[in-house]
Amino acid sequence: MFEKFADAARRAVVLAQEQARDQGSDRILPEHLLLGVLRCPGSPGEELLRAAGAGAAAVERELARAEPGDAAALATLGIDLGEVRRAAEESFGAGALERTGGRRGRWFAGHIPFDRGTKKALELALREAVRIGDRHVGTEHLVLGLLHPEHAAAQALGRLGITLTAMRSTVADRPGRRAG
């Protein structure tokens, strides 16, 4: 499928993987893909989101308030994640949790797999490009794909007033439309 992706869309996927790795996630989530698009300055998807009031800072703010993070969830059980991290690093060295994180104890130094929601968003991005008649999947199509399913990325964009219907219209009516 990635052979149909424009350079900027491929770059957004790579940035999503880096985002997932930086956050210690063992899966690339839709939120990571959204942040990847926003970290491709000048790409159609980034420009559309920014013009709609969903720049990187606004989206990050919305994603942060979407659900309590792991630390907050553990705190409700009386577990201090910071203390757990400190104790692990004291016993096993700096970065101990990062080295052993991931599915089944693996550390994802290379490829990180896509979450089911991200796979669906990528598939829907391809369908959106075909529906519009574009030959390549660009970052604007990634945004459309992310607006379909119910996940934190779609919810964050929704709270910022971005809808699939409005964004479809904006993408289709863009002068000199180019996939990027």
pLDDT in tens, 69-82: 555 555 555 666 56
pTM, rounded to two decimals: 0.77
CATH number at residue 122: 1.10.1780.10
52 within domain boundaries? yes
pLDDT in tens, 11-30: 999 999 999 998 888 999 99
133 within domain boundaries? yes
100 within domain boundaries? no
Q: What is the pLDDT of residue 161?
A: 95
178 within domain boundaries? no
Angle between the N-to-C axes of helices 56-66 and 152-159, in degrees from 0 to 180, rounded to the nearest 10: 120
Q: State the first-to-last Cα distance of the chain, in angstroms, to the nearest integer.
A: 15
pLDDT in tens, 123-180: 999 999 999 999 999 999 999 999 987 889 999 999 999 999 999 999 988 876 666 6
Q: What are phi and psi of 115, to 5 degrees?
A: -65, 160
Query: What is the average pLDDT across 90-100?
Result: 64
102 within domain boundaries? no
Under a CB-based contact definition with an 8 Å cutoff, are residues 115 and 30 in contact? yes
Report the SS3 class of residue 103.
helix
Domain encompassing residue 54:
2-66+111-172
Under a CB-based contact definition with an 8 Å cutoff, are residues 9 and 179 in contact? yes
147 within domain boundaries? yes
Domain count, the chain: 1
